[in-house]
Amino acid sequence: MKSDTTKGLALPPFSSSHLKYLSLSLSLPHPLCWREMASYQQWTLFVSLLCLVSATMGAPPRKPISVPFGRNYQPTWAFDHIKYFNGGNEIQLHLDKYTGTGFQSKGNYLFGHFHMQIKLVPGDSAGTVTAYYLSSQNAEHDEIDFEFLGNRTGQPYILQTNVFTGGKGDREQRIFLWFDPTAAYHSYSVLWNLYQIVFFVDDIPIRVFKNSKDLGVKFPFNQPMKLYSSLWNADDWATRGGLEKTDWSKAPFIATYKGFHIDGCEASVEAKFCATQGQRWWDQKEFQDLDANQWRRLKWVRQKFTIYNYCTDRVRYPTLPPECKRDRDI
């Protein structure tokens, strides 16, 4: 994986006791305390680092725990096109000219952290789509999408994300990935709470969708969702708008999965709130926003790899969608 090219100082690991000491030190009014620093420049850097750490309220998601497929998921269609390996710790989805296949979570979830490791279809994958997403089952549809759009051999995959709220979607963003997603497993995850939805690739945020209900934008908060994944043929639109068709001589197309991590508030389809609201790690204050480093990494993705963003599409949206400014998409 290519490293983050954003330049910046590497911060040391400050403990809570360090921060308490730094805060007390800053409260000292007399300049004699400055003599403990080697120079005024060091002091300035010291204070700057403290301000940066103090201003940062976000935190990275907790490390996911890998489990067998059957712990959290079950097949949904074309069962014979799902292959199991290593005691169910890895699976393959197969697509041929007869059918694709897919699976879904056993439970419904209202907020949480959802993580999957995927190795995408290698070689000529034009016309295929590998999808990993959350979706509600009620009338006013909510959905949080990862869609990997296949391409001709040698051309990069496109990762499309989308968010549906209250039945409204059309919030597509598309990026190229900074690595070959077919050569090895990479992590794709969603952190969803009452304040934001964050899409991560290998723990790097690639998109954030903030709760903007106060701006008149609906936010998924009261409809539990299942997780789904599928591999299917979409050569009417997936690659170059449908110009590139699936080459069935290359079948079967195979996507491989492991991890199957779910840490969410499990709820019935009819539930309107999470019974453990405010008690889970992903529901705490530090996950209400990205931290400074995460915002820098997101900016890096947007500047280097974004190929489409609905927020900047003035043909489709002559008026800027209200959530875009809060999401820092402009």
| Residues assigned a catalytic role | 143, 147
Let me know: does 253 contact 94? Beta carbons within 8 Å.
yes
Helix 16-26, helix 40-55: angle, nearest 10: 120
CA distance 84 to 82: 7
**Helix, strand, coil distribution of the chain in percent, nearest 5:** 25, 35, 45
Token digits of residue 110: 């209202």
The H-assigned helical ranges of the chain are 16-26, 40-55, 69-72, 292-305, 323-326
Token digits of residue 243: 């110009």
CA distance 186 to 178: 11
DSSP code for 241? G
CA distance 228 to 147: 11
Token digits of residue 174: 């598309």
Burial of 154 (0-12, 13-18, 19+ CB in 10 A): exposed
- Name every residue whose Cβ is closer than 8 Å to that of residue 104 and which is 6 or more positions away in sequence: 73, 74, 76, 226, 227, 228, 229
CA distance 95 to 78: 10
CA distance 243 to 318: 28
Number of H helices, E strands in the chain: 5, 15
Residue with tokens 């990026």: 175
